[in-house]
Amino acid sequence: MGGILAEGLLRAGWDPGEVIMAARRPEQAQEAERFIGVPVVLDAAQAAAGRDVVVVAVKPKDVPTLLDQVAEAVTPPQLVISLAAGVPIAVFEKALPGVAVVRSMPNTPAAVDEGMTAYCGGSQVDSAALETAASVLAAVGQTINLSEDLLDAVTAVSGTGPAYVFLLAEALTEAAIREGLPHHAAEKLVLQTVRGAGILLATSPKSAFRLRAEVTSPGGTTASAMHTLEDGGFRALVEDAVRSAASRSRELGQEAAAQDQAG
């Protein structure tokens, strides 16, 4: 996700000289440097020192170790933007006293500048810092400012959301093949349907409910499919999946906070 954001910043017009990344494995650093085209160092503190904005894009379990590494290098008025799912702002603020911290939750369509990122500012964040964070995150798509207590739900909806759509695409492709369509045709039909439906939903003033109602004539083929999905518990299953992802996000945050306290 850090690489996706770095690439997005370059596409948005940032100079490669303005961006530096850190990795912890030499092969990872070389690969990132070659593919992204910005310097990648093996020392997170070196990468963070003196930068206006420091983005933390390690797995939640790696956050406490990373914060230990950069604690002396990151000081006010630097701004830290965390992408780590579930990790509370308090964990960052404890490790980096006085530093402005913005917690965010992006998603992978950021790779094509169609990301959705929710973010919230910590106790040291003023409106200028919040604006800076929003402009960095907006390099890869849309942003929304929400309170921190909503970010686990965001993780479960838009952070995890692309996977729900990919699973639907997988299942639809498999069903298309079982209906006799050749593999390449099944893939093409599904890809363009997901893309077209997404663009229609995003650009139409009509709600998802309305658009669905319009393609569902009573007694028709879509009505038959919708009944099968509803009778099979589709809605309840989606709700369970979102609840489970939100709960896992809270657990990850608690694990990171406990690890931080132990360390």
Residues numbered 11 to 40 that lie near ligand NAP (CB under 6 A) are 22-25, 28
Does residue 9 bind ligand NAP (CB under 6 A)? no
Q: Which of 45, 50, 95 is nearest to 70 (CA)?
A: 45
Report the residue number whose CB is nearest to ligand NAP.
85
Give min distance, CB of 85 to ligand NAP, in A.
Answer: 3
Given 6, 53, 107, 151, the residue binding ligand NAP (CB under 6 A): 107
Given 88, 106, 122, 141, the residue binding ligand NAP (CB under 6 A): 106
> Which CB, 10 or 226, lies closer to ligand NAP?
10
CA distance from start to end of the chain: 26
At a CB cut-off of 8 Å and minimum separation 6, what does 225 contact? none
Does residue 89 bind ligand NAP (CB under 6 A)? no
**Residues 139 and 9 sit within 8 Å (Cβ to Cβ):** yes
> Which CB, 121 or 176, lies closer to ligand NAP?
121
Does residue 81 bind ligand NAP (CB under 6 A)? no
Q: Choose one: 77-85, 213-221, 222-230, 238-246; the region binding ligand NAP (CB under 6 A).
A: 77-85
Does residue 60 bind ligand NAP (CB under 6 A)? yes
Q: How far is CA 4 from CA 108, 114, 194, in A?
A: 8, 12, 22
Does residue 64 bind ligand NAP (CB under 6 A)? no
Does residue 148 bind ligand NAP (CB under 6 A)? no
**Residues 5 and 55 sit within 8 Å (Cβ to Cβ):** yes
Given 9, 40, 48, 66, the residue binding ligand NAP (CB under 6 A): 66
Footprint on this chain of ligand NAP (rule: CB under 6 A): 1, 22-25, 28, 44, 57-60, 62, 65-66, 69, 83-85, 105-108, 159
